[in-house]
Structure 1
Amino acid sequence: MTLAGRTALVTGGGTGLGGAIARALHAEGAAVVVAGRRSEPLREICAELGERASWRVCDVADPQSVQQLSDSLAEVEVSVVVNNAGIAGPVAPLVDVDVSDWDEVFDVNVRGVFLVCRAFLPAMVARGHGDVINLASVSGKRPLIRRTPYCASKMAVLGLTSTLAFEVGPAGVSVNSLSPGPVEGPRMDRNFRLEAERSGTSYAAAMETFVSRAALGRMVTEQEVGAAVVAMLAMPGLCGADIDLSAGMVA
Structure 2
Amino acid sequence: MSTAGGDGGLEAENARLRARVEALERRLGEAAPPPAAQASASGPRVPFEALFELLPMPVFVYRTDGLLAAVNEACCTWFKVPREHVVDRFNLLQDAEAVAQGFTGPFLRAVGGEVTTLPATPYEMVENGAEGRLRRCWLEVTYLPLRDEAEVRFVVSLTRDVTAHKEAEAQQRRSAALLEAIIDNAPLHIYARDAEGRYVVANRQVEAAFGRPRGGMLGARRHRHGSRGHRHEGDAGAGGRLRALPPRPRRRGALAESRAR
For normalisation by structure 1, the TM-score amounts to 0.21
Structure possessing the higher radius of gyration over alpha carbons: 2
Query: Larger % of strand: which?
Result: 2
Relative to the length of structure 2, the TM-score reads 0.21
